Structure 1
Amino acid sequence: MQYSVFITGAAQGIGAEIARLFHQKGFRVGIYDINEQQAQTLAQELGENAKAGYLDVSNDQQWQIALQEFQHWAGELNILINNAGILYSGAFEQTSIQSHQRTMDINIKGVLNGCHTAFPYLKNASFARVINLSSASAIYGQADLASYSANKFAVRGLTEALDVEWQKYNIRVLDVMPLFVKTDMIKNMDAASIQNIGVDLTPTDVAKQVFNLALQKNHLLLPTHTPVGMKSKLMYQLSSISPQFLNRLSNLLLSRQNKSF
């Protein structure tokens, strides 16, 4: 059987690499993005098993239209990948409230809308899985990335809750937690942690991890959270065993940039 995958924010960056990999492996791929023209260009590049469409993930009515359209084209929805996201960096108080609210609309409401709207399609599918793009910023709140980090904590919590709730429907809900990835999102990022930690991951690294999680059939062996990259894995493991004051101290040091604390 040919499975299908619906990807948000799929016109570029991590989403586009996920789309390319799944298409290469024989999936029917939905490439949905607020930048429909770029999404259509990628779909044309990939060929007949790719379909593009417009989707503002913060709008639940657009989700309903997009998923109904995709279901009609693909036959069923097997894998939902909530990838769409934005980032504002810099001091919390110097970032406009409108920017903070926009991250909430896309990074949290987008995932909520996607999971809620996709549920009836996933419930009736022969095989179903949800993979959310979380972040290493959901391990401990990151200075100068406050609202983005808060968004990813919300995604982490929603993933954990639904992974338990939807087990009775044989739907696993998982997330991946990469550190900084070489995409346009991090260009000119105003946060000391990116200079102190560095950028080692590529969109391909994240896409490969997402694909591996999508294909594993043994539900019992699948972790709910999967850090991507050695640095993320180390941070994730250390945070679970070290005391809170040490986690806070580590993050103070990572965010230090000629500041006194």
Structure 2
Amino acid sequence: MHSIFISGAAQGIGAATARLFYQHGYKVGIYDINEIQAQKLAQQLGPHAKAGLLDVADYQQWQQALSEFKAWAGGVNVLVNNAGILYSGAFEQTDIAAHHRTVDINIKGVLNGCHAALPYLQRASFARVINLSSASAIYGQADLASYSASKFAVRGITEGLDIEWQKYDIRVLDVMPLFVQTALVKDMDAGSIQNMGVHLTTEDVAQAIYARVQAKDSIFTTTHQAVGLKTKMLMTLSKLSPQFINRMSNRFLAKRK
């Protein structure tokens, strides 16, 4: 039985992913800074689910959580770096501590997870890392500057490690959804969400993650996977259009109603 370790798994995309993989016969690790909620989800799922505490910005907690999970599951096949936060609104009106916290969780959390999980992934017969990037990593977003930057960083980490870890037969892939119906986008203060709307569900993203894990390893398995029609359109536009067109398009999307 393969196993999957998911950060930020107590709610939202992480919880939907835990449910889906459990249904497909995986041993599931539900780790979150909200341990009580993580434990509740594990109890709901059943005996092949294990929950625990994890602050992704704390490397020692990663080491402890992965060691604990490996001892319980017998190994680690899939790591999903899902934990993340979002602050929206004018850059200068957002406290600098919030910008720093975005970096600590969204970037350092992914670095910590990949670094701490590698020894376990190396010993697995099948291993894959799935990172949660975003459509905000296609072009920098107004009123979401630090969040967008953090997802560009996740995109870069994914690209770099997907090449570097070929020597270990480990694929490092990501999913890039637009806005998803989670607590992160509640009361979000950005023109782009007003213009683009929130149409993706957590189950949509979970299905994309499952497809990434199940995809055969070949030269045709892309590192990035846009989730949703609008994200696919934005990604295609960014590849085909001159930079000034991309900038104008994103200026239009950022206009508040």
**TM-score tier (shorter):** over 0.9
Structure 2 counterpart of 1:153: 152
Structure 2 counterpart of 1:244: 243
Q: CA deviation at 1:124?
A: 1.1
Structure 1 counterpart of 2:56: 57
Per-residue CA deviations over 1:136-158 (Å, capped at 9, x if unaligned) read 00000000000000000000000
Structure 2 counterpart of 1:4: 3
Is residue 36 from structure 1 mapped to residue 35 from structure 2 by the alignment? yes
Q: CA deviation at 1:221?
A: 2.8
1:97 and 1:203 map into 2 onto residues whose CA distance is 29
Q: CA deviation at 1:218?
A: 3.0
2:147 and 2:169 map into 1 onto residues whose CA distance is 31
Per-residue CA deviations over 1:117-176 (Å, capped at 9, x if unaligned) read 001111111000000000000000000000000000000000000000001110000000
Structure 2 counterpart of 1:95: 94
1:1-261 to structure 2, matched below 5 A, reads 2-257=1-256
**What RMSD in Å do the two structures reach over aligned CA positions?**
0.7
1:44 and 1:53 map into 2 onto residues whose CA distance is 12
2:212 and 2:161 map into 1 onto residues whose CA distance is 16
Per-residue CA deviations over 1:44-102 (Å, capped at 9, x if unaligned) read 00000000000000000000000000000111100000000000000000000000000
Query: 1:207 corresponds to which letter in structure 2?
Result: A
Query: 2:117 corresponds to which letter in structure 1?
Result: A
2:229 and 2:256 map into 1 onto residues whose CA distance is 24
1:35 and 1:185 map into 2 onto residues whose CA distance is 15
In 1, are the aligned partners of 2:106 and 2:150 still within 8 Å (CA)?
yes
Moved >6 Å (runs of 4+): none
Query: 2:31 corresponds to which letter in structure 1?
Result: Y
1:170 and 1:15 map into 2 onto residues whose CA distance is 25
Query: 2:58 corresponds to which letter in structure 1?
Result: N
- Aligned to 2:187, what secondary structure does the other structure show? coil
- Aligned to 1:219, what secondary structure does the other structure show? coil
Per-residue CA deviations over 1:24-59 (Å, capped at 9, x if unaligned) read 000000000000000000000000000000000000
In 1, are the aligned partners of 2:194 and 2:256 still within 8 Å (CA)?
no
Identity, in percent, stands at 67
1:160 and 1:79 map into 2 onto residues whose CA distance is 17
34-43 vs 210-219, which moves further? 210-219
In 2, are the aligned partners of 1:172 and 1:219 still within 8 Å (CA)?
no
